[in-house]
């Protein structure tokens, strides 16, 4: 079968990730999450879409993407591969780099859901239920905004507070860092994204 341009582009992004890649994953996660915290209506370019709708959709997408990348950074930092083992491999996701050979890994990476289901294997969560609840909401945001568009939904600011709580817990439990975060959704919210080491 002849190579298409789409195949060639896809191959540019194929990689078996190493433990050291956690730094880039975390930085890109933070770029997305920080933008989500600070994004305002005035930042949206004029289009045929209401600026509030456009901003809210973009915020939710950034939160979902950032959270997925942060989870993958956490796995890599802890010494676990994020590429899925081949189906014929005796190893299953998640597997430590020290027990799985690179040739046993596919180019395909674990999904957000794979990471969520295996999170407790990789890091000790001090409040597992609360942390996972916020991460699950972020996953819903990523899935919903990446695959469909609706004009309106019921806004509940507690949804965002739950995600913020989960992210603070992840930074504490997985990275030994203190995160201060507020995703500014109303005119009274002050956007915050600040990280400092707990050392």
Domain that residue 143 falls in: 18-197
Cβ atoms within 10 Å of 113's Cβ, excluding its own? 12
Q: What is the pLDDT of residue 101?
A: 79
- Evaluate whether residue 11 is within a structural domain: no
Q: Name the average pLDDT for the chain.
A: 92
Q: What is the pLDDT of residue 24?
A: 98
Q: Which tens digits make up the pLDDT trace of 4-29?
A: 888 888 777 778 899 999 999 999 99
- Evaluate whether residue 7 is within a structural domain: no
- Evaluate whether residue 142 is within a structural domain: yes
Overall domain count for the chain: 1
The contacts of residue 178 (CB under 8 Å, 6+ apart) are 168, 171, 172, 195, 196, 197, 198
Q: What is the pTM of this model?
A: 0.93
Tell me the average pLDDT across 173-178. 97
Q: How far apart are CA 169 and CA 5, in angstroms?
A: 43
Band (96; pLDDT cuts 50, 70, 90): very high
């Amino acid at each position: 079968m002849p190579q298409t341009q789409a195949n060639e582009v896809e191959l540019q992004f194929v990689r078996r990730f190493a433990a050291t890649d956690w730094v880039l994953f975390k930085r890109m996660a933070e770029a997305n999450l920080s933008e989500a915290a600070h994004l305002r209506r005035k930042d949206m370019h004029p289009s045929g879409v209401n600026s509030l709708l456009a901003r809210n959709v973009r915020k939710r997408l950034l939160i979902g993407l950032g959270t997925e990348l942060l989870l993958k950074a956490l796995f890599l930092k802890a010494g676990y591969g994020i590429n899925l083992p081949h189906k014929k491999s005796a190893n299953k996701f998640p597997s430590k780099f020290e027990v799985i050979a690179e040739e046993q890994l596919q180019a395909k990476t674990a999904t957000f859901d794979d990471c969520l289901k295996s999170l407790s294997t990789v890091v000790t969560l001090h409040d597992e239920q609360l942390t996972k609840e916020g991460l699950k909401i972020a996953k819903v945001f990523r899935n919903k905004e990446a695959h469909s568009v609706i004009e309106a939904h019921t806004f509940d600011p507690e949804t965002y507070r739950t995600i913020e709580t989960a992210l603070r817990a992840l930074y504490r439990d997985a990275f030994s860092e203190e995160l201060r975060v507020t995703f500014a959704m109303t005119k009274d919210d002050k956007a915050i994204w600040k990280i400092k080491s707990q050392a």
